[in-house]
Chain A
Amino acid sequence: KAGVTQTPRYLIKTRGQQVTLSCSPISGHRSVSWYQQTPGQGLQFLFEYFSETQRNKGNFPGRFSGRQFSNSRSEMNVSTLELGDSALYLCASSRGTSGVETQYFGPGTRLLVL
C-alpha cells in the first residue's frame, strides 16, 4: 500500500507570496493532519480534516488555511509569506473512523521563504 505523498518536496518563495502544498493520504484514510516542523519550535499542529471538514485547529494565524477534497486529498495554503514560515510542512493521515488511531506521516514539503 502506498504511503502518504506530499508535493512539491521543495519550494522557494519570497516574502509576501502565497503557497499551496498538497497531500495525498494512504488509500482508505479519511483523516489528514498538518504539522509545521522548525528547529526552534519543533513539531506543531496546524489543523486536521475529516470528510472535508476541519475538525481541529492549532494556534496559527489566519494566513494558514487548508481544505480537504471528497477523495480525502488535502491542501494547505499560506498567504503573505513571512521569513518565519520557512519550515518542513508535514502531512499525516489516519483512518479517522473511531478512537485514537495511528497517524502516518509523509516525507514533508520543505519551504524556504527568502
Chain B
Amino acid sequence: DSGVTQTPKHLITATGQRVTLRCSPRSGDLSVYWYQQSLDQGLQFLIQYYNGEERAKGNILERFSAQQFPDLHSELNLSSLELGDSALYFCASSVVSGGQSFFGPGTRLTVL
C-alpha cells in the first residue's frame, strides 16, 4: 500500500458523459501527478499540482481539467468522453517534484 488513494476503482460510462476521479496523496506529499495509461500509449503524464497550484502540463486534452484542494486532495475531471479515453488513470504523489513518486491503485475508466 503506497498511501495514495484513488476513487473510484472502476468507472463505466457512456460517450459524451463527464466523470470526476479523485486522489488523496500520501500524508505530507505536496506534489500530485496525474497519468493516463493505455495499452498503445504507455504511461502518459497529464498534469501536476504542487501545494494547490498547477505546476506542469503534459499531454492533457482540453476536455480534461484538474485541481488540487487546500487539503491537498486532487480531482481530475474528464468531459465529453470518447471511446479513446478508456484507460487506467493513475495519481501519484511525492514530497518534492522529481523525486520518488508513489502511485495510487488507479481508476479504470471504460467508455462505452
**A is bound by B:** no
